[in-house]
Amino acid sequence: MPNESFQALRDSVSAHRVYFEVLPDEWGGRDARLKVGFELRLWGAHASGAAAIPGCDKCRGIYADLQRIAEWILPREERPSRYEIEMFDGALYASPTLKDTDQVGLILRILHRDRGDRPVDACEERCLRDMRQKLRELSVPEGSWHATNPGGP
């Protein structure tokens, strides 16, 4: 990726105060749950106090930047895993750490390529590890946005 493209992604991280979370992707019912993959969730924020409207043009712009980040962190070589980026749902979420700030979310799933009902294995673990590393390269924190992020507001 050219340096200006990498820098554009880093600028988006800073502008939207992007951070990520990882949750298990589970299959099954109430009594028996099986961890079959991971949900890597990217979050991007509107400006504080922006009074955003769900699905507005600004939301779509934030989501588009999150999608570019998600596509950049995907492994380039063929692996026995597959990756699914959920479509934009138009929803806004209250930021747990930024006062009076709404967020847009993107879910990227890491799953087995052939069957969705197999337990997580070394390939999905490796894919998640590689994605975390690429997010670190972009200075995307895990868990929440911190004002002390390098290059952040």
Structure-token pair, residue 132? 């975390």
The predicted-structure confidence for 17-29, as pLDDT tens digits, reads as follows: 999 999 998 877 7
Does a structural domain hold residue 146?
no
Structure-token pair, residue 40? 């890597």
Q: Whole domain around residue 27: which residue ranges?
A: 3-137
Burial class (CB in 10 A: 0-12, 13-18, 19+), 43: buried
* Counted domains in the chain: 1
Does a structural domain hold residue 143?
no
Does a structural domain hold residue 147?
no
The predicted-structure confidence for 132-141, as pLDDT tens digits, reads as follows: 999 999 999 9
Does a structural domain hold residue 38?
yes
For 75, residues 6+ apart whose C-beta sits below 8 A from its C-beta are 81, 83, 127, 130, 131
CA dist., res. 111 & res. 91, Å (int)? 24
Question: From the centroid of its chain, how far is CA 63?
Answer: 10
For residue 24, list its beta bridge partners.
38
Q: H or E segment at 24?
A: strand 19-28
Does a structural domain hold residue 88?
yes
| CA distances for 67 relative to 54, 90, 116, angstroms | 18, 14, 23
Does a structural domain hold residue 144?
no
10 Å Cβ neighbour count for 127?
Answer: 23
Mean pLDDT across the chain: 88
**Residue 110 in this model has a pLDDT that exceeds 90:** yes
pLDDT of residue 116: 66
Mean pLDDT throughout 140-148? 80
Does a structural domain hold residue 131?
yes
- Helix or strand or coil: residue 73? helix
Chain position carrying tokens 């999150």: 66
Per-residue DSSP letters for 34-55? EEEEEEEEEEEEPPTT----TT
Structure-token pair, residue 72? 């950049």
